[in-house]
Amino acid sequence: MTYQSQSVARLYFIGALGLFVGQILFGLVLGTQYVIGDFLFPEIPFNVARMVHSNLLIVWLLFGFMGASYYLVPEESETELWSPLLAKLLFWVFLVAGALTILGYLLVPYAKLAELTHNDLLPTMGREFLEQPTITKIGIVIVVLGFILNIGMTMLKGRKTSISIVLLTGLIGLAVMFLFSFYNPSNLVLDKFYWWWVVHLWVEGVWELILGAILAFVLIKVTGVDREVIEKWLYLIIAMTLITGILGTGHHYYWIGTQEYWQWVGSLFSALEPIPFFMMVLFAFNMINKRRRNHPNKAATLWAMGTAVMAFLGAGVWGFLHTLAPVNYLTHGTQITAAHGHMAFYGAYVMIVLTIISYAMPYLRGHGPTSGERAQIWEMWGFWLMTIAMVFITLFLTGAGILQTYMQRMGDDPGAFMDVQEKIAFFYWLRLAAGFVFMGGLVVYLMSFFKGKPGQTENA
């Protein structure tokens, strides 16, 4: 660790991993409810478990992005963080607000929660992924503004690099796009139109800038390749990301009441969206092949390469499978969407957060570049167990989605939704089994932190 103020990142990484565990536990509850409908009912209804599962995913990834920023920006800027105290304060505000919100979901009926939090004054609740009470959303805005102020002021007083500028651009975009969660028009078409400006332009737009910046930072550190080479790749990737991602929003506008031209625009630009992810694969493997440094942290290198591959498969290939309008007409909202969502989030965002944690945590714990051979073996076992489990979760959901599409939406006598769900339950059992393997992989990964000790010195 080069700068003392980088230590605040450790707090965020620990918080992120704790919430990650919560997200997977609720994922297992959901997976069980798919095959045993009354499991934990009425204590945890399906809709509440789903809301907690998806909200925890978003929040822990945000904690991860913030921790990554607090670690890499001081190094990139070659100066201490502007205000470590503000960073610590915002962590506790965000954590307490998030915990109260999750408890609200679990302990109070949603309508009552809306009433208690005065949603009537500024109605924003009730929309998928944006279920947070209005007061929580306001809190998120305050936390993010304070966070961007801290990062921005640190950059202003230090060196400006392409990586930190791309990162800050992504973070500002994240904040701006979230403001559309406060816009809740009564017209349903308008509502869905702008709802995607938060949901799509986060994960297929500005979050990809954050992903690219973190990946570039780690690759510079573990490969020793010239910064100029990596920055050129980064510029190409983010240019393609923005070109394809922004107009690619059109694939969400096919069937919500917008103009017909969106079917052409969405199909064309969505078909191009795998390109930046494929470039990311070439980028990562090229940099590894050209490395001029034998960094002892093999686990961080593995996570970086895994991020590029799994992001390409999940966001690129599985996204393309159902993105063209004639195909999407039949597959929209089926388990194929769920398959794409699971692998894309895992590959693009879960893995990049675990990449930076893998690289930074040994330094933050005072262990040097690694926490030792034993810790790395445990961590890499965690990598493979979680990644293989996610591949099978995706394949099982894809199989369920193909059958669902055929039985429910094709032929002369399409089946009713629940009848079809019963017929594809076999895939849900398999998905649940893979989910338990994923949880096992996460436990192994977390165990690696307790196997650590001061590691090897870096061979430059």
Instruction: Please report, to the nearest 10 degrees, the dihedral formed by the alpha carbons of residues 235, 174, 27, 116 taken in order.
Output: 180
Whole-number Cα distances in Å, 90 to 83, 100, 150, 176, 411: 11, 15, 10, 19, 55
Which pLDDT does position 457 carry in this prediction? Answer: 52
For the chain, what is the largest distance between any 2 Cα atoms, rounded to a whole number of angstroms?
A: 68
Q: What average pLDDT does the segment 362-367 reach?
A: 94
334 burial level (CB within 10 Å; 0-12, 13-18, 19+): buried
Neighbouring CB atoms inside 10 A of 354's CB total 27
Q: What average pLDDT does the segment 429-438 reach?
A: 98
What is the 8-class DSSP label of residue 457? P
Which residues are registered as beta bridge partners of 294?
459
Q: Any idea where the domains of the chain sit in the sequence?
A: 1-135, 239-450
Residue 158, classed as helix, strand or coil, is: coil
Which pLDDT does position 454 carry in this prediction? Answer: 67
Structure confidence by residue, pLDDT tens digits, 321-347:
999 999 999 999 999 999 999 999 999
For residue 176, give the nearest of 150, 201, 193 by alpha carbon: 201
Homologous superfamily assigned to 239-450: Cytochrome c oxidase-like, subunit I domain (1.20.210.10)
Residue 442 pLDDT grade (very low, low, confident, very high; cuts 50, 70, 90): very high
The yes-or-no verdict on residue 459 having pLDDT over 60 is no
Percent pLDDT > 90 in the chain is: 89
Which residues are registered as beta bridge partners of 459?
294
For residue 42, whether the previous peptide bond is cis, meaning omega lies within 30 degrees of 0, is: yes
The yes-or-no verdict on residue 206 having pLDDT over 90 is yes
Contact criterion met (CB below 8 Å) for 331 and 405: yes
Describe the crossing of helices 8-35 and 46-77 by its angle, rounded to 10 degrees. 160
Whole-number Cα distances in Å, 188 to 195, 250, 337: 10, 17, 22
Residue 169 pLDDT grade (very low, low, confident, very high; cuts 50, 70, 90): very high
Q: What average pLDDT does the segment 425-452 reach?
A: 96
Which pLDDT does position 455 carry in this prediction? Answer: 56
Lowest mean pLDDT segment, chosen from 56-60, 293-297, 300-304 = 293-297
Which pLDDT does position 226 carry in this prediction? Answer: 86
Instruction: Pull the structure tokens for residue 86.
Output: 């503000």
Note every long-range contact of 142-147, with CB atoms under 8 Å and residues 24 or more positions apart, other chains counting: 142/93, 143/90, 143/93, 143/94, 143/97, 144/171, 144/174, 144/175, 144/178, 145/175, 146/86, 146/89, 146/90, 147/66, 147/69, 147/87, 147/90, 147/171
The yes-or-no verdict on residue 193 having pLDDT over 80 is yes
Structure confidence by residue, pLDDT tens digits, 409-427:
998 889 999 999 999 999 9
Contact criterion met (CB below 8 Å) for 168 and 144: no
Which pLDDT does position 297 carry in this prediction? Answer: 93
Q: What are the percentages of helix, strand and coil residues in the chain, rounded to 5? A: 80, 0, 20
Which pLDDT does position 460 carry in this prediction? Answer: 40
C-alpha span between 139 and 156 (Å, rounded)? 26
Which pLDDT does position 412 carry in this prediction? Answer: 83
Residue 239 pLDDT grade (very low, low, confident, very high; cuts 50, 70, 90): very high
Residue 459, classed as helix, strand or coil, is: strand
Which pLDDT does position 388 carry in this prediction? Answer: 98
Instruction: Pull the structure tokens for residue 437.
Output: 């393997």
Q: Where are the alpha helices (DSSP H) in 133-290?
A: 134-156, 162-178, 188-201, 207-223, 227-247, 261-272, 274-289
> Which residues, including other chains, have CB under 8 Å from residue 149's CB and lie 6 or more apart?
82, 86
Quickly tell me which residue has 């190094």 as its tokens: 75
Q: What average pLDDT does the segment 103-122 reach?
A: 94
Q: What average pLDDT does the segment 100-108 reach?
A: 95
C-alpha span between 417 and 436 (Å, rounded)? 27
Which pLDDT does position 302 carry in this prediction? Answer: 96
The yes-or-no verdict on residue 456 having pLDDT over 60 is no
The residue type of 189 is V
Structure confidence by residue, pLDDT tens digits, 3-62:
999 999 999 999 999 999 999 999 999 999 999 999 999 999 999 999 999 999 999 999
Stated pTM of the model: 0.95
C-alpha span between 32 and 100 (Å, rounded)? 25
422 burial level (CB within 10 Å; 0-12, 13-18, 19+): exposed
The yes-or-no verdict on residue 458 having pLDDT over 70 is no
Q: What is the rounded radius of gyration, in angstroms, for the C-alpha atoms of the chain?
A: 22
Contact criterion met (CB below 8 Å) for 113 and 102: no
Q: What average pLDDT does the segment 283-311 reach?
A: 91
Contact criterion met (CB below 8 Å) for 12 and 64: yes
Percent pLDDT > 70 in the chain is: 98
Q: What average pLDDT does the segment 87-105 reach?
A: 95
